[in-house]
Amino acid sequence: MIDRKRVLVSLGASLLGASAGASAQTAQPYKIGLTWPLTGPLASSGLQYLPGVEVSANHVNRKGGINGHPLQLVVEDTAGTPQGGVTAMRKLVQVDGVQAILSIYTNVVTAQIPLAEQLKVPFLCPAQTPGLMSKSAYSFAHAETISATGVIFGNYWKRVHAKKIYALNPNNAIGPVYSAAWKAAAASAGADYAESSFNYGESDYRGLVARVKDANPDQIMVSAQGGIDDTVIIRQLREAGVNAAITVPGLFTEEPAWRAGVGTYINGLVMSGLAIDPVAGKQFIDDYRIKTGHLPGPIPGEVYDMVQMFASAIKLGGYNGEAIAKQLAMLKGVPSVFGGTITMDPQHYSVPSTDTLWVLKNDKLVKAMP
């Protein structure tokens, strides 16, 4: 079990004014809340992304904080559930006085949207569901949308002449979004499409695997969200003798738990993901590797950017939820670790870059499409 207290103590000790200038050391901290899965089936991935937030906050504090105030992270566990997300957000705002929140996973942030509106506190997340963030003046995303990723996979399936695609989608809020994207992608490639859903938290997916095997597809989409259950499904597919190509809408090769869970079956997976720019993201890459012992994947890069986005909005508008939300809506020119700068669009999405398809061959990532 994950030691939630240890995680919170570690974050608090390292980020309360860490490396900030002298004026920031004595000023009241500006708090950013994190509603994060520290327990539950998505905790393994959530904990891999936390160092991205921590490194980013440390970088802000090294430069003297925000207008002389150190940045402090306050973390609450959501267990990856909608109710957990609502409870965590309410506690952070009403008890801890947080005026800006980072959140993650569509099923959680969907439940948080009306509460953020009620509390008048903005949140940023790497949600990929198109149109979701425009439902509120207080919800914002920094990620490529699933519909855009679907276009990329559609082009790939067309290029490899896919005839039959079978998708395994999670039985949660993001499942129907994946379904719509993959159906459209299959249609654009001229391929037949079938799908099944799976529940997170299970350990035996062999019944699901049998359905896939009976369908005999040439391409399988495992709609992974970074949890260990994703790796169980992939492993059980291969152990059952299913040899069809497997595609994954995420790049989790730098997450030790996910990589260990898939094992040798990780080679040959086709995965979508953003590439952190080796120049623009150099300091982030170096500090993340020092902290974790491995390179950052795309989502740690996205959450790194999101702390910088909040820092820019707070610097311009002050530490107040309504003011931060207004500044986020107008945000532009914030440097990104993916290269270039970040601009928020009218729908409250800022796209860091365009997804690339990768395949792991002999433990080395190469582009799956030229």
Report pLDDT digits (tens) over 313-359.
999 999 999 999 999 999 999 999 999 999 999 999 997 777 789 99
CB atoms within 10 A of CB 300: 28
Q: Which residue has the higher pLDDT, 206 or 369?
A: 206
Locate 263 and state its tokens: 């094992």
- Domain residue extents for the chain: 4-144+279-342, 146-273
pLDDT of residue 257: 87
- pLDDT at residue 360 tops 50: yes
pLDDT of residue 7: 52
Q: What are phi and psi of 273, to 5 degrees?
A: -175, 160
Under the banding of pLDDT at 50, 70 and 90, the label for residue 61 is very high
Question: Minimal CA–CA distance to 323: which of 99, 93, 28, 146?
Answer: 99
Report pLDDT digits (tens) over 76-103.
999 999 999 999 999 999 999 999 999 9
- Helix ranges (H only) for the chain are 4-15, 22-26, 43-62, 82-94, 106-119, 146-159, 175-189, 206-215, 228-239, 256-262, 282-292, 298-317, 321-329
- pLDDT at residue 365 tops 70: yes
pLDDT of residue 370: 65
Report pLDDT digits (tens) over 207-253.
999 999 999 999 999 998 888 889 999 999 999 999 999 999 988 88
Task: Collapse the DSSP code of 283 into the 3-class scheme (helix H, G, I; strand E, B; otherwise coil) and give the result.
Answer: helix
21, with CB counted inside 10 A (0-12, 13-18, 19+), is middle
CATH of 4-144+279-342, one of 3.40.190.10, 3.40.50.300, 3.30.950.10, 3.40.50.2300: 3.40.50.2300
Under the banding of pLDDT at 50, 70 and 90, the label for residue 26 is low
pLDDT of residue 5: 41
Report pLDDT digits (tens) over 141-180.
998 889 889 999 999 999 999 999 999 999 988 899 999 9
| Portion of the chain with pLDDT greater than 90, in percent | 74
Report pLDDT digits (tens) over 249-268.
988 888 888 989 999 999 99
Query: In this structure, are residues 123 and 116 in contact, taking their beta carbons and an 8 Å threshold?
Result: yes
Question: Minimal CA–CA distance to 133: which of 150, 115, 107, 109?
Answer: 109
Q: How far apart are CA 142 and CA 215, in angstroms?
A: 36
Task: Report whether CATH 3.40.50.2000 matches the domain 146-273.
Answer: no
